[in-house]
Structures are given as structure tokens and as C-alpha cells.
Amino acid sequence: MRKFFQEIKADLKFKTAGPGQKLSEPSRAPKERPKAEVAPKPRQAPTDEAQKAAAAALARLELKPKGKAPSASQEAIKNQVRKELMAEAAASEKGLSVEEKEQEEQGAAAAPSVSGVYFVCPLTGDVVRKDQKEKHLREAVQAYFSVDPVAASIMEIHTFNKDREKVRLCVETMAKYLDNIYLHPEEEKYRKIKLQNKVFQERISCLEGTHKFFQAVGFETQTLPVPGQGKNSEYYVLKEEMLSRLEELKDCKEQLLSAEPLRAQLHRQLTVFQPSPAASHFELPHDFFNLTAEELRREQRLRTEAVEKASMLRTKAMREKEEQREMRKYNYTLLRVRFPDGYILQGTFYARESVSVLYNFVREALRDDWLPFELLGPGGLKLTDENLAFNECGLVPSALLSLAWDAAVMADVEAAAEEQRSPLRAELLARVQTLS
């Protein structure tokens, strides 16, 4: 391998021109010259920038595993390396780094099929981008305190504390405090909670939203003497008027125990496109990947490894392990379903959602949702197991599927219909778009 890399580098010394120069023509057999003719000028050496760029690319490639590739792939690898070295040299002549060159090429690429991944806030109904989801949810919960402070504080506890085991222990302890008051209202000791108590500090005080909950259900902060210690400490003390509203306290306890984390719903971004030959072409934004932009660029730079890997012998277990690793790269998938009349239905899904979700998505878009149909994946494979996840079916990070009607039923429908109409709902067809 090292030998033909060196051959390429040596070859490039004659094929890479300096700034303002043209690439030299391929060498031809020299014509016979008269003896008196002056010897030709020596070929000009490549610029320092071009030589550095080529050397850097060669050094990077030499760091790759030294395993000998099969001879059948030698020419393919050599051609790929030659392209990379030439691109490296061309980028240096323009004064660009390889990363900047790739960004320049990406800037000229087609516009994304969707602008990003969006979510619907369960409190406001607003549609927000993925990177704004957490911020918007917090603002919505804060605004809800003016509506129902108890419910808002419960939302904070369950939604913004990520350790589910700590949340479970916290709410069970808080519920116990409220239970003691409800069952023993005459016992003054149960109506006071010492804030410096070890259990309170370790299980409750350290979690977000807990103090707001106690204040919302009728506790207030008081500084009281600690029995038997001769010093004062801060306590939560239940207000006297709450003793006549113990049923409300019980309801608050039940809400606290039964609540679930507040979750923004993935926005499907349902879109209908006119028939288009570009249906199988996808341009996805970074939101769809579980990778940073830098990691994606790194994968592009390492694309030559795929040529070598494809020629290596791998066991079934190795292939399955690699497939599982690939599936984890994707959080979302963009799916298109092409109807027999050519119209295309597009939606955004979680990569781990089941195929049944897609069937329901298509059914909800139909004018007659009772019509039986099948979905065919790439290659015409029927998606019969609706419990499988999209990433288990290879439908990530994007895929074009086809819809096939039940032939017998459609024959009856067409015979009874006066005119053929699109099976999609009229309101969807009213905002049909053109796929670029």
C-alpha cells in the first residue's frame, strides 16, 4: 500500500501546478530533435502549498490499518486516493483548508427536504424547533403557574428532574408528609417539616420544583425553635386555613403520585407532493442524526475506508454488530409514501417508532380511511410486521415506500365511482407542493 501511495505522490509532483499555472499535459514520447537544439527548461516544481497538502493527505492515509487489501480493489483504492490528493492540492491553491472546501461544496448542495425536526408544545400548542424545545417547555410551565400553581409545580418535578429513581423516591416521601397531615390533622407535629432535616435535604430539597409545590399546597416558611436543642431552624408549616380543606390536600397528593413527565410531541410535518421523479432523493439536516456536524464531516473524510472494508471478509456477527451501531446514529427518519397515482405523502418519525405508526399516518391522510392497503419498502418488500421499528426495517434516516391497494376492493370502488379521484383528503391536496 505504501508503495503505490508514494507512486501517486511522485506522480502528483508533475500533475499539480502552482498558482496561475496550468496542469501539465500527459507525457508523450519525445520527438527526435536536431542536435543543435537547446535543451528544454526543467519542469517547474509544484508549489510548497500543494506539496504540503499532498504530504498531509498521504500521512493521514498511512495512519489507517496496514492490512493488505485484496488485489481486486487495489485500482479502486488508488483512484480514490488520487482524487483525495488532487482535491487536497486544489484546495491549498485556493487558500482553503479541506474542511472549508467541504463546507463550500455542501453550501452548493440542494436545499434540505425538511428544514429540521420540530415538536408541538403540549401546553401552548406552539410548534418549535428541536433545539428550542427545552427552553420553550420551561417558559410554558412557568407561565402555567398563574393558572394552576399546584399542577405547574408537579410538572416541574416530573419533567425537569431527569433521574427517574430520584423523582420516584422524592414524590413518595412528599406524599407521605401529606398523608400524615390528612390522616392525623389534630397532630401539630405532622404539620411542620424541618427544612434542614436530612431526609428532606437528600430526597426532596435537591430536586427542581419541590419547594414550589409545598408553597402551592399551603405551606409557608417559619423560623421556629428546635425542640430540645435550644436553637432556631427554618420549617415549612401548613397554614391554619388548610385544615378545613384537607380533601384538596389529598387531591394534590394523588396528582403528585400519578403525574407523568411533560413531553413535547414530535411534529410530523405532513406534506403532500405532486408526482415527481425526485421522490427518492433526500437531503436531511443535521437534526436527523445523533452526530455533531464535526463527526459528520469526519465520516465524509474517512469514506475511502468503505472501499477497503467492502473487500474484507466479515462474519455475520460482525456485520450485525456494525448494523446495530449504524442504527443508533439516527434519532429520526423522514419517510415518503408514493401512491399509485404518483402523489407523495411525507412525514417525520422517530427512528424507533413502529411500522404501525406509519400505517396510521397514511390512513389518517385518506379520504376513505377504510380502504385496505399495503406498504412496500425499498425493493418491493412488504412491511407485514407492524411491530417492527423503522430502524429494524432499514428505513432510517430516510426511505421511499410505495402504497399498494387491495386489487379486488379497488376494482369494486372504481366500478362504482363516477369519476376517479385522488384517495388523499381534499384539504391535503389543496396545499400540495412541488418536490424540488
**Which residue segments constitute the domains of the chain, with CATH numbers given?**
122-265 (1.20.58.2190), 328-434 (3.10.20.90)
Amino acid at 83: K
Cα–Cα distance, 364 to 370 (Å, whole number): 10
Cα–Cα distance, 400 to 329 (Å, whole number): 19
* Spatial CB neighbours of 378, under 8 Å, sequence gap ≥ 6: 394, 399, 400, 401
Is the pLDDT confidence value at 17 over 90?
no
Contact indicator for 111, 283 with CB cutoff of 8 Å:
yes
Is the pLDDT confidence value at 300 over 90?
no
pLDDT of residue 207: 97
| More reliable by pLDDT, 17 or 173 | 173
pLDDT of residue 188: 92
Mean pLDDT of 42-47: 56
Average pLDDT of the chain, as a whole number? 79
Mean pLDDT of 281-303: 68
Please tell me what DSSP assigns to residue 131: G
| More reliable by pLDDT, 386 or 49 | 386
Pairing of strands 271-273, 265-266: unpaired
pLDDT of residue 199: 94
Instruction: Give Dmax over CA atoms of the chain in angstroms.
Output: 124
Burial 202-237 (b: 16+ CB within 10 A, else e): ebbeebebbbbbbebbbbeeeeeeeeeeeeeeebbb
Cell of 269: 410535518
Sign of CA dihedral 12, 295, 97, 282: positive
pLDDT of residue 319: 58
pLDDT digits (tens, 9 = 90+) for 191-250: 999 999 999 999 999 999 999 999 999 999 999 998 888 899 999 999 999 999 999 999
Q: What is the DSSP annotation of 372-422?
A: -EEEE-GGG-B---TTSBTTTTT--SEEEEEEEE-HHHHHHHHHH-SS---
pLDDT of residue 429: 95
Burial 28-61 (b: 16+ CB within 10 A, else e): eeeeeeeeeeeeeeeeeebbebbbebbeebbeeb
Cα 111 to its chain centre, rounded Å, is: 18
Is the pLDDT confidence value at 294 over 70?
no
Contact indicator for 421, 371 with CB cutoff of 8 Å:
no
pLDDT of residue 86: 61
Cα–Cα distance, 391 to 379 (Å, whole number): 16
Q: How many CA atoms lie within 13 A of 424 on its CB side?
A: 24
Is the pLDDT confidence value at 347 over 80?
yes
First to last CA, the chain: 43
- The pTM for the full model equals 0.65
pLDDT of residue 249: 94
**Helix orientation angle between 74-93 and 2-15, rounded to the nearest 10 degrees:** 40
Closest CA to 127 of 306, 163, 195, 136: 136
Pick the range with the lowest mean pLDDT from 4-13, 367-376, 389-398, 409-418: 4-13
Please tell me what DSSP assigns to residue 134: H
pLDDT of residue 121: 96
Amino acid at 145: F
| More reliable by pLDDT, 237 or 73 | 237
User: Which three-class secondary structure state does DSSP give residue 203?
Assistant: helix
| Band (284; pLDDT cuts 50, 70, 90) | confident
Is the pLDDT confidence value at 24 over 50?
no
User: Which three-class secondary structure state does DSSP give residue 271?
Assistant: strand
pLDDT digits (tens, 9 = 90+) for 112-160: 788 899 999 999 999 999 999 999 999 999 999 999 999 999 999 999 9
Closest CA to 360 of 335, 380, 327: 335
Burial 137-171 (b: 16+ CB within 10 A, else e): beebbeebbeeeebbbbbbbbbbbbeeeeebeebb
